[in-house]
Structure 1
Amino acid sequence: MGKSEIAIQRAIEKASKADVKCTFIVIDFLTNKIEGAPFGFAFDRGCFHSLNSDEERKSFAENVAVHLEEDGLWLSIIGNADERRDGPGPPQRTARDIVNSVEPYFEILSLVSSHFGSNHPNPPRAWVCLMRKRRFA
């Protein structure tokens, strides 16, 4: 079983325990459109920050926008470059990296420095970024 399948299985278990109805799928988001779009909300934890170039992140942001309805919201939890780290952890991005990549497609409503939810004593720092899809003229 691959990482994606394990993540989906854990998500199904958590949704079931919370008595929440969700549909989970494994898809290459950068090359395929998700059925059922447009959606009102998108959540990302661990995808956006894994893309190394501004162009890749812009492409990702544009694809999120394509999948959202007018005024749709995107919440992204992103590795934060404001911490020096000796060990492993999520890729780190600056606030400028985020703004440069999402600005053409999203209005940033909130960009807050926080930490990843974790049972580690010192969880990695994260950006919690809430964005609204821009209305195109």
Structure 2
Amino acid sequence: MVQAIIMGKIEKEQPPAAPPEDEAKIQHLMDDLLGRIFKSPRTEVQKEILLGTLRDVRLKVNLPIRVKFSYENEQVIAEAEEINEFGFGTNSSEALVDLQRAISELYFTLEKEQKRLGMDLQKVWAVLQEKILRR
């Protein structure tokens, strides 16, 4: 950096200032970038897990259930594709707990109504019976 002595004072030469419209663009880009960094801490969350528990003492997971995570409108979605069941939350833990609750409810509902199930729900019930044991 160039320094100049003017009237006994040392002044540092400043780089030329950006035109005002460029400053506004730069500020907008910085705000956008910082907003994404601070508002989106989900960059390192796992995309897929194998679920091995349902948090329901009446049920035991015999074979793990594959769960995929996705993000939509500031919400995390945990999806068990095999049984077309979802859980929602503000983070992956909340979404997973919601999914576990939904799977437990689905298990008991289908168990109770198994004689009245259509073909699609019979397939879901068969998957649940294979993967989950009643204690």
| TM-score category (smaller protein) | under 0.3
TM-score by length of 2: 0.22
Q: Which entry has the higher C-alpha Rg, 1 or 2?
A: 2
TM-score by length of 1: 0.21
